[in-house]
Amino acid sequence: MAAERYVDGGLQRHVSGQQEGDASVPLVEVPAARRSLSPSIEEKWTRRPHCREEPDHCSSDVAASPEPLDMLSYLFPTLRPQAFFPPDLHSLCDYAHGFSEPKKIHKGRGSAASLEEQRRPRQDGEDSASSGGTAAACVDRKLLSAYMSQLRQLEQWRFLCVDGEEMKEKKKHVLKQKVRAGVPDCLRGVVWQLLAGVQKMKQEAGYEPDMYFKLVTSKIWTEDSLTNLGPIIARDINRTFPKHILFRDMHQKGQQALFNVLKAYAIFNPDVGYCQGMGFLSGILLMYMNEEDAFYMLVCLLHKHNMQGLFTPGLPTLEKYFFQFQRLLQKHMPRLSVHLRNEGVEPSMYLSSWMMTLFSYNFSFDCVVKIWDVFLNDGEKMLFRTALAILQIKQEDLFTASFEAILEALKLTPSQLDANVLLETALNVKVHNSTLRELEEEYFEEKKMQALDQSGNVADPDE
């Protein structure tokens, strides 16, 4: 059964074999007006289910929505269905502005009552049957208040979605505050692309409009250098968010989109090709945007945000991250750093999966999206802040743990973290871009000295 719903203000399509009587995931039939929408728009703005039950990674369970779609029509009978789609953000914001102070609320289709009348306590002698209408009105007011709050929040984000790159430069401090306060879930796909600078990258690089289509349908894939990647990618996508409804079924739309994105990137950048970990990045992106946008977003992450070295042979960027993190750990938590070193626990033993997947593996979804929000605006310093925050939250337990217990704790901790606590702790960790640059210079200087020492030990045969 296919149905759509709104969660956190965002449209979500839920397709599953779940029984209709299951109250934990109420499914709402799509009205005829909704079905008439263009399939391309519906596909482009398909949303991801929220994770609640299974913390290892995304669950197939969907948080129950208190605002079914027919209630939206009930509360806003004049609202066009398209107004909740991000492509029609202007209409949505204009509509929200007009309803900033609602004076009436519908008790039923075709009737209305003032809020004051609904708030008036029932007098003795009034028909007791009216209590049901009063209770319904209370529920309606709560729903209306929730929708108004979401609409006002969307209106506040209009400055970014409308002005884009120009507003990013003019009001960086305002954008920084809003990102840290939380990006509306129904706009994350749009906002992430703006924060990452995808459109600017495409213009500067001069990519052809149909480049993604050409890559996906390219015959280069059959060449010997790439033909072996197909089975490897197919094997790995079965392990990518296997409990998430979008990717859990083999050979279905979600897995096919993920395969296409990874295949296109392998052809686009043969020097990197495909590496484990890229599937998690692409999977997160596909939960918020169509596969073409996800591809360009992946290109932007790996190139503009200097993450390409996380997946090239030798993993040079990852090695640099280990060095930088070790120095930062010594600075911020010297006692814990000494204890971990004495127990033989190195950053490479726990930091790899965090960095290569941008914390999308084994973390709750709330943690993942909040980290990504800030990372795309602040840059790689957010990755180090988050990693240090995890150790800071668990440091008391780690102090008394041995080697095996430390690794087990660091493996289980991500799924147990509260997203708000993690974000607040991470933002309080002082890591600056200038510090990372200094550590990067120190890392390369040390690598240079090691290379000189090794070459000095080799005698010149001409001497």
- Distances from the Cα of 327 to the Cα of 311, 410, 447, angstroms: 23, 19, 15
Q: 60, 108 in Cβ contact below 8 A?
A: no
Q: What pLDDT score does 50 carry?
A: 39
- The two tokens of residue 147 are 């929708």
Q: Once rounded to an integer, what is the mean pLDDT over residues 250-278?
A: 91
Q: What pLDDT score does 135 carry?
A: 55
Lowest mean pLDDT among 58-72, 94-108, 123-137, 230-244: 58-72
Q: 351, 322 in Cβ contact below 8 A?
A: yes
State the Rg of the chain over Cα. 26
- CB proximity list for 337: less than 8 A, separation 6 or greater: 326, 329, 330
Higher pLDDT, 315 or 132: 315
High-pLDDT (> 90) share of the chain, %: 41
- CB proximity list for 275: less than 8 A, separation 6 or greater: 310, 311, 312
- Give the chain's domains with CATH numbers: 2-156 (no CATH), 197-299 (1.10.8.270), 316-449 (1.10.472.80)
Helix then strand then coil, % of the chain, to nearest 5:
60, 5, 35
Higher pLDDT, 226 or 95: 226
Task: With cut-offs at 50, 70 and 90, classify the pLDDT of residue 166.
Answer: low
Phi-psi sector, 282: left (phi>0), alpha (psi -120 to 50), beta: alpha
- The two tokens of residue 70 are 């027919």
Q: What pLDDT score does 373 carry?
A: 96
Task: With cut-offs at 50, 70 and 90, classify the pLDDT of residue 84.
Answer: very low
Q: Once rounded to an integer, what is the mean pLDDT over residues 291-307?
A: 92
Q: 87, 41 in Cβ contact below 8 A?
A: yes
Q: Once rounded to an integer, what is the mean pLDDT over residues 76-88?
A: 39
